[in-house]
Structure 1
Amino acid sequence: MTRSTPVSGLSELKAALQLAIGVELSTIPVYLTALYSIREGRNTGAAQTIRSVVMEEMLHMTLAANVLNALGETPSPEPVAFQGHRNLSPLPDYPLDSPLISGIGTLRLLPLSPQAVDGFVRIEHPLHGAADVREIEPGSCGYRTIGEFYDAIATALKDPAICPDTVFRHRNQVPDTQYYGGAGHVVEVRDRSSALKAIRTIVDEGEGLPPEHLEDEAKKVTTEDRLRSGWQMYSHYARFRELRTGRRFRTGQLAGQEPEGALLPVDYGAVHPALYVPRNGDSGGGPETAALIEFDLVYSRLVDGLYLAFSGDRTALPTAVHGMHALKHRAVALMRTPLPGDPAHTLCPRFSYLPPGDREKLARQAGELRRQSR
C-alpha cells in the first residue's frame, strides 16, 4: 500500500477519529436496508451474514469513540475541520459520495439484490475493487481507501510528537459488558498500546484490511471470532464474497479465491422491492410521506443515543439498542407499503439524520399529513 496522507497534529487526529466514527456509521444503513428488505422467514443465511456485519460495525464505531475519548475529545456528530476542509460531517447523507475516501464509490440504499451485494463487496475489499491502489484517483482528502485512512490514524497514534503518553486518559469508555451481539470485544483505551489495539480490531475485522491479507485464509479466525453457536466471524470481505457467489469458503481457501464450499442460497425474489426516494423527491405526500418522516425522526434519535453513549452516558447504549428494534419494525412497515404512483415498488427508509432544530416542525408535518388522510 502506498503511504497515506499524514495526520499532522493532535487536533487533526481527533478530527480523523470523529470522521472514523462516521465512516463506520455510514455503512450501517446500507447494510440494514438490504437486511430489512428480506421477507420474513426467507434468506436466513443471507440475513445472518448481513446482521453479523452490522453488529461489528457497531463495535467499530464504539472502538473509534473509545480512542477519541481517551485523547480527551468527546464524540460529536458536528462537522469538523480536516485536511483543508472546514466542514466535513461525520453523518452520512444518501446517496453518499465520500469526500474523505475516494475509492469507496457511491453508497446507496438498496434492497437485497446483486447490485447491493456488489456494493457490499466493494466497500469491504481492501482496494474497493481496484486491482492496484494506483488505479484509484486520490480525493481531496488524499485517502483512496479506508485502509489508507486508518493507516494514517495508526501512524499518528504511534508518534509521541503527535500523541505524547501524557495525553491518554481512561475516560468515558464504553465497556465490553455493554456491547451487544457479534464477535470481538470492546477495547477500553487507556494508553497508546490499547488505542492501537482498538484500531487494529477495526481493520482486521472489516474495512481497512490490507491487500496482502487476500493471501490469508478466508476463514482465518481467533478465539474471539467464534460465537457460542459455532458461527465464525471472519472478515467482512470474505463473508460478503460468500453472499455474492452463493457459496461458503472451504477451510484452507484464501480470501482472494472464489468460494468453493457449501451452497449459500440467496433468493432475490424473496425481497420487498423498495425504492429509495430522497427527502426532496416526490413520495406523493399523505400517510406515506408521514411514515418516512417518522422513520427519520426515530433514526435521528437513535444516532443521538449512540453519541450520548459514546460520551459516557452508561444508560444510553441499551436504550439505543432497543431503539434499533423500533427502527426495524418501522423499516419493515415502510417496505411493505406501495410507493404512490409506482405500485411495482415499495417505500424505502431514507436513514436521513434530521437536525434537532427541525424535528418539532417535521413531527407536526407528519401528524398533519396523517390527519388529512383520515
Structure 2
Amino acid sequence: MLKIPVRIIEEIHNARQAADLYRHLQAAIELEHSTIPLYLTALYSIQPNSNQEVAKILFSVVREEMLHMVIAANVLNAIGGTPQVNKPDFIPTYPGHLPLVQPDLIVGLAPLSIDQITKTFMQIETSIDPEDYPAKPVPFALRATEEYQTIGDFYQAIIEKITDLHHQGALSIQRRNQVVDEKWFPRTELFEITDLDTATSALNLIIVQGEGTTTVQKTRVCSLNGKDRSQATQTFSPFDPQNQPAHYYRFAQIIKGGRLVPDPENPGGFVYDLNQPINLDSEKIYPLVENSKAEMYPEGSRARRLVDQFNYSYTSLLNGLQKTFDGYPDYLNTTIGVMFELKLQAEEMAELKIKTGTDAEKRVAPSFEYQLSRAEKAISSLI
C-alpha cells in the first residue's frame, strides 16, 4: 500500500488559498504518470498474439492513469495553477521511489511476471484492506491524520479542502485551459472543470477507478419503544461507475486466474470466476532488460539507437502534453497518437537479443528517460 506522509495531508488541511494546493496537484500529476512506464514495460514484454486478456487489463490501467493525469491537470488549471510535465525530473528514476508517497516501496521497470504484479502493481493500487472492502471515507475533520494512508485518501483531502476554500471565497474555479477529447475519453470520464461540482466529480472518479465505490443505504428500523429510526449501511463494490473492476482487482484477476463477477451467494458479494479464465502464460513473455538505461548499450549500436529513439518519442509525448495543458486541448489527439509509435518502437526493441553480464540472453527494453532530440535541443537553446 502506498502511504501518503502525514505532513502532506497536514499541508493540504492547512491550505488557506488556491495557490497552497498547486504543488499538491502537481505532485498528483507526477504520481499518476510515474506508474505508466511500469505498466507499459510489462505490456511491451508480452509477445504478439499471446496473453491477450492480460494485455487488455494492462492497457486499460495505462489508459486510466493517463486519464487521471489529465484530470489532475484540468483541476490544477481550473483553480489557477499551471501543470509542468516537460522537465527532466518529471520522469522518476527506476528503480526508485514513486513521487509523493513514503519511500517504503521501490519500483522498477521489468517484464510482466507474477512477482511484478503482486509485489509492485498490486502494492501500488491497493487500499487499506482490500480483502475486507474499505468503508466510505470519513471527512477530514472527523478522522485522525494518520488514517490518511492511500492515494484515495489524498484525493479525498484535496476534494474537502477545495470545497472548504470555495465556500470561503478563497478559491475560484474557472473554465481555464481545459482538456477534453471524446475520441479517447468519453464525457462521463473526462469533462471540463467549470465549478465545484465538476471538480469534485472528476477527483472522485480517480478514487473509484483506483479503489472501487461505496454506496450508503438507509433502512427503517422499528424499535421496542415504538419510535422508528433509520439505519445507514455501507456497501462496497470493487467496480467503478463504468462497471470495470478498480485497478487492484483488475490485477488480482490475473493472480486468481478468473474474471471478477458479482455473486450474491458469496458473503463478499463477488467471486473470481474460473469459468472466465484470465491466465498469464509466462512462456510468452520477453525477458526484457530490467531497469533499462540508454547508457547500458554501446554508442552506435542498434540497441542504443532504438533506446534513444524511444526516449526522443517519449520526451516528445511529454512536450505534447505540456502544450495540451497550456491551452491547446486539440493537441491531445496528436500526443496520444505518439503512444502507438512507442508501442511499435518497443516491439522492435523486444525482438533484439543481447547478452548481459551473467551471459543470460535478454531483450532490449525502453528506459523512459527524458531525452531531447537534436532538433528539440536546438529549438530549446533559442528560447
Following superposition, the deviation at residue 181 of structure 1 comes to: 5.3
- Let me know the Cα RMSD of the aligned residues: 3.6
Following superposition, the deviation at residue 284 of structure 1 comes to: 3.6
Contact 2:314–2:370, Cα closer than 8 Å, also in 1: yes
Contact 2:74–2:177, Cα closer than 8 Å, also in 1: yes
Contact 1:46–1:243, Cα closer than 8 Å, also in 2: yes
Q: Which residue of 2 aligns with 1:237?
A: 248
- The separation in 2 between residues aligned to 1:148 and 1:96, in whole angstroms, is 23
- The separation in 2 between residues aligned to 1:128 and 1:112, in whole angstroms, is 25
State the secondary structure of the residue aligned to 2:363: strand
1:216-231 superposed matches below 5 A: 216-218=236-238, 220-222=239-241, 225=242
Q: Which residue of 2 aligns with 1:27?
A: 35
CA gap 1:128/1:100 in 2 versus in 1, 3 angstroms? farther
Following superposition, the deviation at residue 104 of structure 1 comes to: 6.7
Q: Which residue of 2 aligns with 1:167?
A: 172
Q: Which residue of 2 aligns with 1:138?
A: none
Report the TM-score, using the length of structure 2 for normalisation: 0.76
Q: Does 1:190 align with 2:190?
A: no
State the secondary structure of the residue aligned to 1:203: helix
- The separation in 1 between residues aligned to 2:148 and 2:373, in whole angstroms, is 31
Match of 1:250 among 261, 267, 272: 261
1:201-350 superposed matches below 5 A: 201-206=205-210, 216-218=236-238, 220-222=239-241, 225=242, 232-252=243-263, 259-261=272-274, 262-279=276-293, 282-285=296-299, 286-341=301-356, 342=359, 344-350=361-367
Report the TM-score, using the length of structure 1 for normalisation: 0.78
- The separation in 1 between residues aligned to 2:360 and 2:186, in whole angstroms, is 37
Contact 2:73–2:325, Cα closer than 8 Å, also in 1: yes
Following superposition, the deviation at residue 206 of structure 1 comes to: 1.4
Following superposition, the deviation at residue 152 of structure 1 comes to: 2.6
Letter in 2 for 1:332: E
- The separation in 1 between residues aligned to 2:151 and 2:273, in whole angstroms, is 28
Q: Which residue of 1 aligns with 2:113?
A: 113
Higher strand proportion: 2
Instruction: Tell me which structure has the larger Cα radius of gyration.
Output: 2
- The separation in 1 between residues aligned to 2:60 and 2:186, in whole angstroms, is 6
- The separation in 1 between residues aligned to 2:235 and 2:123, in whole angstroms, is 18
Q: More displaced, 155-164 or 285-294? A: 155-164
Match of 1:71 among 79, 85, 100: 79
- The separation in 2 between residues aligned to 1:99 and 1:337, in whole angstroms, is 32
Q: Does 1:47 align with 2:67?
A: no
Task: State percent identity of aligned pairs.
Answer: 30
CA gap 1:254/1:296 in 2 versus in 1, 3 angstroms? farther
CA gap 1:60/1:22 in 2 versus in 1, 3 angstroms? same
Contiguous gaps of at least 5 residues in structure 2: 135-146, 217-233, 379-383
Contiguous gaps of at least 5 residues in structure 1: 80-87, 134-141, 226-231, 362-374
